[in-house]
Amino acid sequence: MDRIKRIRRKLTKPIIFSGIGVHTGERTNVRFLPASDGIYFTRNGRNDIKIEASIQNVVDSFHGTTIGNGTINFSMVEHILASLFAFGIDSVIIETEGGYEIPILDGSAAEIAEKLNNAVVESHMDNDNDTVVIEDPFIYNNEDKFCAVYPSTKFIVSYLISYKNYPELTQMKTIEITKDKFVTEIAPARTYAFLEWVEPLKKHGLIKGGTLENSLVYSKDGLLNKTPLRFPDEFVRHKILDFIGDLSLLKKRIIGHFVVLCGGHTTHIAFLKALKKVL
Judgement on whether residues 203 and 160 belong to the same structural domain of the protein: yes
**Residue closest to 232 by CA, chosen among 184, 177, 172:** 172
The string of pLDDT tens digits covering residues 40-66 is: 999 987 878 899 999 999 999 999 999
Q: Strand, coil or helix: what is 62?
A: coil
Range(s) of the domain holding residue 61: 2-125
Asked if 268 is an active-site residue, the reply is: no
Is pLDDT at 4 greater than 80 in this prediction? no
How does the average pLDDT of the chain come out, rounded?
94
The string of pLDDT tens digits covering residues 80-129 is: 999 999 999 999 999 999 999 999 999 999 999 999 999 867 776 666 65
The continuous run of DSSP H or E covering 92 comes out as strand 89-97
Half-sphere exposure of 113 (CA within 13 A, CB side): 24
The continuous run of DSSP H or E covering 110 comes out as helix 110-117
Report the CATH number at residue 169: 3.30.1700.10
- Specify the length of the chain in residues: 279
Give phi and psi for 18, each to the nearest 5: -150, 165
pTM of the model: 0.95
Judgement on whether residues 139 and 272 belong to the same structural domain of the protein: yes
Of the listed 79, 257, 265, 268, which one is catalytic? 265
Domains identified in the chain, total number: 2
Q: How far is 127 from 37, CA to CA, in rounded Å?
A: 13
Report the CATH number at residue 92: 3.30.230.20
- DSSP strand pairing (216-219 vs 192-194): parallel
The pLDDT value recorded for residue 36 is: 85
Judgement on whether residues 182 and 255 belong to the same structural domain of the protein: yes
